[in-house]
Amino acid sequence: MNALEKINIAILLVTISYVIAINTVLVQVDEIEPALRWFITFLTSVGLFRLLIILIFWVIRSSDTLLAIYHRGRFLKGLWTYEYEVNGETHIGIWRIAQDLSSISITGYGVDAKGQIDSHFRSISPLFEHQGVDEIMFARTDSASGEEHFSKTTLYVDWIGRSDWRSGPGFMRAQSVLYGHTEAGVRNADIILRRVERGESEAQIVKDLCRTEFKDKVPEAHLAAQDSEEEKQYSAL
């Protein structure tokens, strides 16, 4: 039994308790006819059931903590960094994962050694389970050529690796099979994804990624110039 079924059962039990209670009260009122008593009980119980569903689901959706409790090891909402290698070349970027009670969507982009976007992508399917693993389809566009590619990505989430009961996993691996143009059939076999701590800006995350992964390719002077430019922009605000 999943979490959604448990919530629905709890709401149903509350509604049944209400039906019993309101019917007990109305029976004691002699002026109310049985047909009217049944109508009042039915109408108010249906309204209560709908109201509880809307209210409880709204409260859960509005709180990341409650969403984490609801999804437990499957709570993936937030920013993630990714990295993988192809033919000795490192690729890095950002995943933005949006998640509510019943759906999940992913957008993101890859960056080059200078921290500039070289591709962007979006999920074009829900996250679905296939033979015991989670899979999702992506459409990706290369910034330089404008060509669109598609991929099927399999996620291996570290369900156990939660820092506490109020958070989701912080690490997962993925494999992608690419479709379209000259990359058809290419497999990226070991994509590493890590959750980003809250409070960090994407600009800082990308900068830290570039410093870590491309420290031998990007001159420190270039990174220092980026820092100086950002400081000027912040001071002008």
CA 124 to chain centre: 14
DSSP 210-227: HHHHSTTTS-HHHHHHHH
Look up residue 151 and give its two tokens: 């991929």
- β strands within 40-170, DSSP E: 78-86, 89-99, 104-111, 117-123, 128-130, 133-142, 148-157
CA dihedral (6, 9, 15, 16) positive or negative: negative
Pairing of strands 171-179, 187-195: antiparallel
Given a cut of 80, whether residue 5 has pLDDT beyond it is yes
Q: Which tens digits make up the pLDDT trace of 29-60?
A: 878 888 898 899 999 999 999 999 999 999 99
- Please state, in angstroms and rounded to a whole number, the distance separating the CA atoms of residues 207 and 227: 9
Would you say residue 234 has pLDDT above 80? no
How do residues 68-124 score in pLDDT, each as one tens digit? 888 888 889 999 999 998 888 888 999 999 999 888 999 999 998 888 898 999 999
